[in-house]
């Protein structure tokens, strides 16, 4: 991707293909998924059939081999019709990226190939006492011969219970702080793994969020990701990349809300005129479109840095996530306003979009945390000039 942010023909084709799948096979079920807080089976099947469920998996392991920008386009277009469904490829990347960053070849071959064939992958970093303070891990992993035994509780785990595999962060040496944290692959079928009840959430109701309980879970020693003590560093590197996918979600839901609002204001009449003719509403629409496009370009710029592994990715990933999610919250709220009383009902999709947009300001690091990250990067002099 160039710094001119012009999509190649291949990337344009990917956008068109994902949009076709999203509109035909995901959008018709989005309201029902939300209303019944159920797993989006239709979306999961459609994405798997089209190889959009985990597009980032390299071709060497049976995946589509999509680059960072292509993955962003997939997530953006799905989120445009249903944010819950967009969490399928987003969470699969989040959960498996630590393997791609630090796992040995056998671990990659085993789990990435199974992910490519449809077995989901979740990410277990957060705990009851380790949210924004991610280093405050309590889950422990203790050696037992050639194996590891894990005990602890992970909280706010997206797609928990649906995914087959989990990247789990655990303390292996409590005296070394973050350098005493390691990462492991845990399977849903491992003895001692169980799940809490699904959280009752404001939005993204089609993506189950549950606690993951690890009760004397014994796993083989070769399921450690990278050398012992490198788990926290791998986890932070992972978030640098995957915050860009949250930005893509935010851009997608904002665009979906604007699209719907544009159609509505050109049909709705008041005082003998289409409400689209009123200048006050035109100003709102202009601001919505302007901010979405700014968020989109920042997200694509961050995706390019993710693909290249640029030194300023940390800044750009945080900036894209914070700006795009703040934009999504404002745009979806404005879309509800444009629909008036109708926007406040579940008969129209913009109220769902507003509820779904809120989480993008919170997960993978709150936007307050993103600003801390950006400030530290600026003070360290790590920011490129375009």
Residues designated catalytic: 364
Q: Residues 201, 194: contact at Cβ < 8 Å?
A: no
Token output for 84? 């819950």
What DSSP string runs through 292-316? HHHHHHHHHHHHHHHHHT-TTHHHH
Token output for 212? 């993951």
CA distances from 48 to 85, 219, 252, 260 (A): 12, 28, 20, 27
Buried b (16+ CB within 10 A) or exposed e, 107-124: bbebbbbbbbeebbbbbb
Q: Which of 182, 125, 188 is nearest to 155 (CA)?
A: 125
Q: How many helices (H) and strands (E) does the chain have?
A: 11, 10
Q: Which of 108, 106, 211, 117 is nearest to 160 (CA)?
A: 211
d(CA 266, CA 254) in angstroms, rounded, equals: 19
Phi-psi region of 159 (alpha: psi -120 to 50; beta: other; left: phi over 0): left
Q: What is the three-class DSSP state of 35?
A: helix
d(CA 81, CA 78) in angstroms, rounded, equals: 6
Q: Which of 109, 135, 107, 129 is nearest to 219 (CA)?
A: 107
Q: Residues 63, 117: contact at Cβ < 8 Å?
A: no
Q: Which of 156, 187, 54, 166 is nearest to 113 (CA)?
A: 54
């Amino acid at each position: 991707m160039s710094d001119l942010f012009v999509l190649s023909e291949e990337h344009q084709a990917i956008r068109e293909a994902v949009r076709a799948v999203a509109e035909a096979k995901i959008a018709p079920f989005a309201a029902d998924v939300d209303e019944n807080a159920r797993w989006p089976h239709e979306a999961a099947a459609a994405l798997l059939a089209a190889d959009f469920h985990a597009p980032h998996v390299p071709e060497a392991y049976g995946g589509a081999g999509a680059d960072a920008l292509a993955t962003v386009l997939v997530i953006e277009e799905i989120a445009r019709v249903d944010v819950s469904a967009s969490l399928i490829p987003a969470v699969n990347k989040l959960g498996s990226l630590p393997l791609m960053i630090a796992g040995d070849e056998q671990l990659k071959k085993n789990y990435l190939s199974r992910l490519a064939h449809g077995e989901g992958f979740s990410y277990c970093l957060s705990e009851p006492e380790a949210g924004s303070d991610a280093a405050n891990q309590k889950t422990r992993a203790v050696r037992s011969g050639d194996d590891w035994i894990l005990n602890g509780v992970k909280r706010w785990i997206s797609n928990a219970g649906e995914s087959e595999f989990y990247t789990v962060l655990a303390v292996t040496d409590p005296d070394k702080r973050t350098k005493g944290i390691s990462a492991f692959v845990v399977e849903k079928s491992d003895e001692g793994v169980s799940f809490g009840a699904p959280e009752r959430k404001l939005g993204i109701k089609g993506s189950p969020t549950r606690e993951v309980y690890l009760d004397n879970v014994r796993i083989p020693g070769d399921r450690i990701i990278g050398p012992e003590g490198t788990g926290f560093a791998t986890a932070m590197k992972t978030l640098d990349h995957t915050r860009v996918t949250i930005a893509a979600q935010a851009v997608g839901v904002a665009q979906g809300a604007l699209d719907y609002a544009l159609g509505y204001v050109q049909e709705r009449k008041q005082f003998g005129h289409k409400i689209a003719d009123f200048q006050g509403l035109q100003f709102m629409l202009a601001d919505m479109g302007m901010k979405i496009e700014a968020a989109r370009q920042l997200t694509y710029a961050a995706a390019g840095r993710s693909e290249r592994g640029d030194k300023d990715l940390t800044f750009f990933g945080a900036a894209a996530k914070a700006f795009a999610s703040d934009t999504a919250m404002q745009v979806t709220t404005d879309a509800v306003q444009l629909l008036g009383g109708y926007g406040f009902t579940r008969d129209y999709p913009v109220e769902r979009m507003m509820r779904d947009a809120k989480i993008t300001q919170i997960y993978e690091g709150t936007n307050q945390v993103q600003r801390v990250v950006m400030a530290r990067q600026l003070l360290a002099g790590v920011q490129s000039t375009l």
